[in-house]
């Protein structure tokens, strides 16, 4: 699959949220969607990013955005993450890696000299018509909401 780019139709994802309910991009039709992919629940960078979105969630809602996070963690892991940090948005459990592969954000990574497969932290801003308006690669976890608002006015 070729890498997704701005202007492409967003792949229609479908996954289970932290409560086991299915959510699809088609369920969000007519909304601007912040679809963010992150490596792992409860890790420092992922927690910082989630809390930044949480702290600015009301402002994002006022602008008509829906926030959806995706990682390969389980529904139970997402439940604990949401409860511990009082996250007000949906997290999808992509344990079989279907969504991360659809969006091309899973692959070989390196850290401290070790190679492993994992998620590339990436955010897709999808417009009301299901088109990718912006892609933020390697978002600044501490200032992620600002990055989103700067690109998507």
Three-state secondary-structure class, residue 87: coil
Catalytic residue among 33, 46, 87, 148: 46
Q: What is the C-alpha R_g of the chain?
A: 14
Q: Which among 54, 66, 58 is positioned nearest to 127, based on CA atoms?
A: 66
**Burial tier of 87 (Cβ tally within 10 Å: 0-12, 13-18, 19+):** buried
Residues 68, 99: contact at Cβ < 8 Å? no
Q: Give the HSE-up count for residue 106: Cα atoms under 13 Å, Cβ half-sphere.
A: 16
Q: Respond yes or no: is residue 51 known to be catalytic.
A: no
- Greatest Cα pair distance, the chain, in angstroms, is 44
Residues with catalytic function:
46
């Amino acid at each position: 699959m070729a890498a997704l780019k701005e202007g492409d139709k967003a792949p229609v994802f479908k996954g289970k949220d932290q409560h086991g309910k299915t959510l699809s991009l088609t369920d969000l039709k007519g909304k601007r969607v912040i679809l963010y992919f992150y490596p792992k629940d409860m890790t420092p960078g992922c927690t910082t990013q989630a809390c930044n979105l949480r702290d600015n969630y009301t402002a994002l809602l006022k602008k008509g955005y829906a926030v959806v996070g995706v990682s390969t963690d389980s529904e139970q892991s997402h439940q604990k993450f949401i409860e511990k940090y009082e996250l007000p948005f949906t997290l999808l459990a992509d344990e079989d890696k279907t969504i991360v592969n659809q969006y091309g954000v899973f692959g070989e990574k390196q850290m401290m000299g070790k190679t492993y497969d994992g998620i590339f932290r990436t955010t897709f801003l999808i417009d009301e018509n299901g088109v990718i308006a912006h892609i933020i690669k390697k978002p600044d976890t501490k200032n992620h909401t600002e990055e989103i608002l700067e690109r998507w006015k």
